[in-house]
Amino acid sequence: MIAFYTDALSAYPGETVSLFASSAHPDARLEIARVGAAREVVATLDLGELQDAPTPAGADRDGCGWPRAGEIAVGADWRSGYYDLVLTNGAGETSHHLLVVKPPRYGSRRARAVLVLATNTYHAYNWWGGANSYCDVTGLMARELTLAEGMARAIGVLSARRPFAQNIVAMAPDGPRLMNAGVRGFQERPRTDKPEFWREHGLSPYDGAAGFLNKWEHHFVAWAEGAGIALDYFTDWDLEAEPDVLAPYACMLAVGHSEYWSAPQRDQVERFVDGGGRLAIFSGNTCYWKVRWEDGGRTLTAHKWNGFTAEPEAGANGTHMWSHPAFERPEAALTGLTFLYGGYHRLGMCVARGSGAYTVYDDRHWALEGADLGYGDSVGLDPPLLAYENDGCRLAWGEDGLPKPAPGLGVPENLRIIAIAPCSYGEDLTRGARPVLPPEDFTQAAEIAYGDASDESRRRLLRGHAVMASFTRGQGEVFNGGTTEWAHGLKAGDPYLRAITLNVLKRFGAVG
C-alpha cells in the first residue's frame, strides 16, 4: 500500500508544501505534472525511504497523522494550474494527490479570468479512511452495509489531512458519465453508462461526482487552453483564506460540480459581483450546501441534512442547504438558480426518456448571438448535454410567450431565461421501478422549496426544470449554464455550446 497527502492543496510560486506519506516499500519518487490540454512534467523528486505508517481509526474524521516525507518547492516558473502529484514506491505502486499552483502574487503575469476549482466538493465526497459526508463508503463497497445503513453512517466532520480516494483524484481516461446509457426503452430499467468501466475500476457511487482529472474541470480547461483562453487558478479554500483574491480579475468561473461553499467564500464572490465582477457558472448543483472550515483549513464541517440536529446552537454558523430559511441567503440570490427547482435528467428514472438537450426560448439573448439557434431549437442533442445535476427556477409565462422566473428561494426578478428542459429532484417511487439514485430527504427539501411537506409539495419536486439564464446583480453580471455537464459538450466539440461559451467569456472580459 502507498498513499500520501499534503498540508495544503494550493500554493504560490516560491512557496513550499509538506508531504506526508505511508508506504510498505521504500525508494519513493514523486512526479509533479501540470495537467491541462496536455500533461507537462515539471519536476521529479527522490524522497528516499518512506515509513509504513498505520492508518488510525477515524482517519476520515481526524486525519492520519503520518510522518513528514518531504516537501515540494513550487518553482517560480510553474504556471498557474492543476498539478497531478504521483508518488511511486520501489514495488511500482502509485498514489495520486493534487496541488493547485496559484498565479504570482505580484507583477503582471495574470490572466483576465480565474477558475475556482471545487475543492470543497472534492473533500465532501472523499471517502478515504472509511466515510464521507454521504455514506460509510468502505462498508458499502465491502457489501457489509446496505445503502440505507451506509448513509446512516455518513460523517459531518471531515479531515483534509488524509489522502484522496484514488478514483476521485485520478479517474482513468474515458470514464463513465453520470447518466444513463441511452434513452430508456419501453418497460426497460435504466442502464448505467459504461458498466464495464465501473466494474473494472471498482468505482463507488461517489467517485464520479468530484475531482479534476478526466472530469468536468479538466475537460473545460483542455477546451479553454485549446481555444487560447488564459486562466488563473485558485481553490475554494483560497477564497476563504484570502478575502480579496478575486479583485484583480474581470471574471470568475465555476465549472462542473461546485456544490459546497463556505460563508467567507460566498461573501467574497458576492462582493466581487456587486463591485462589477462577472460570474460565469458552467456548473450544476452550484453553492447548494453551506459548509464551514475549522482548524485553519484542516477540518471541513458539512452536516448537510443533519445540520440543525448535529449542531442545534450553531445558528447562522451552522451547515445545511444555503436555501434553508435559517440562513436567509438562498444561493439563487447569487447564482440565479437552485437545484431544488431543477434536478436530474437522463439519470435513473429521472426524465429517463428526455432528449438530453435544452430547448431555446429567448433566441434574442446576447449569449446566443452568432450561435445559429432559433426559438424551439435544441442545444445539446448529440451527445446529450443534460444529465446528472441541473439547476433551475420556478416558471411563469409572459405575454410575449417566453418563460419568466416565478418568485421563490431568492431567484432574482430580472433573471432572463434563455432555455429550459424538464428535470426531477428524485425518482418517482410510485411507478414501481427500483430506484437507482441514493434518496434525498424529500421532507426537508419540500419544506424549504415550497413551505410544507405535503404530498403535493413533494410531487412538485419531481417536476423541475434545468434553466440556462443570466441576470445583473449590483454592478456585475452572472451567467448560469445550469448543468454539471457543460464541459462535456465542449469536449465533444458541440459548435453551439462553443459559440455560447465564447460569447459569455468575451462579454465577461475573460478574453479580448
pLDDT, tens digit, for every residue of 410-463? 999 999 999 999 999 999 988 767 788 888 899 999 999 999 999 999 999 999
User: What does the alpha-carbon distance between residue 357 and residue 419 come to, in Å, rounded to a whole number?
Assistant: 10
User: Which grid coordinates belong to 326?
Assistant: 435559517
User: What does the alpha-carbon distance between residue 78 and residue 135 come to, in Å, rounded to a whole number?
Assistant: 37
Q: What angle do CA 366, 218, 243 make, to 5 degrees?
A: 75
Q: Which domains does the chain have, with CATH numbers?
A: 1-106 (2.60.40.1930)
CA distances from 132 to 128, 160, 177, 337, 448 (A): 8, 12, 21, 26, 24
Which pLDDT score, from 0 to 100, does residue 438 have?
Answer: 84
Following DSSP, what letter does each residue of 31-97 receive, concatenated?
EEEEESSSEEEEEEEEEE----PPPPTTHHHH---PPEEEEEE--TTPPSEEEEEEEE-TTS-EEEE
Overall pTM > 0.85: yes
Which pLDDT score, from 0 to 100, does residue 430 have?
Answer: 81
Contact 427, 352 (CB under 8 A): no
User: What does the alpha-carbon distance between residue 392 and residue 336 come to, in Å, rounded to a whole number?
Assistant: 8
Which pLDDT score, from 0 to 100, does residue 3 have?
Answer: 97
Output the furthest CA–CA distance in the chain (Å, rounded). 73
CA distances from 324 to 85, 305, 448 (A): 38, 10, 6
Q: What is the dihedral of CA 470, 103, 167, 18, to 10 degrees?
A: -140
Where do we find the cell 478514483?
Answer: 167
Where do we find the cell 463591485?
Answer: 275
Residue-wise pLDDT tens digits, 335-371:
999 999 999 999 999 999 999 999 999 999 999 999 9
Burial of 242 (0-12, 13-18, 19+ CB in 10 A): middle
Q: From edge to edge, which strands make up the β-sheet containing 68-73?
A: 2-6, 16-23, 68-73
User: What does the alpha-carbon distance between residue 277 and residue 137 come to, in Å, rounded to a whole number?
Assistant: 40
Which pLDDT score, from 0 to 100, does residue 409 have?
Answer: 98
pLDDT at 108 over 70: no
User: Which grid coordinates belong to 101?
Assistant: 499552483
Contact 340, 448 (CB under 8 A): yes
User: Which grid coordinates belong to 420?
Assistant: 429550459
Mean pLDDT of the residues in the chain: 96
> What residue type is 48 in one-letter code?
G
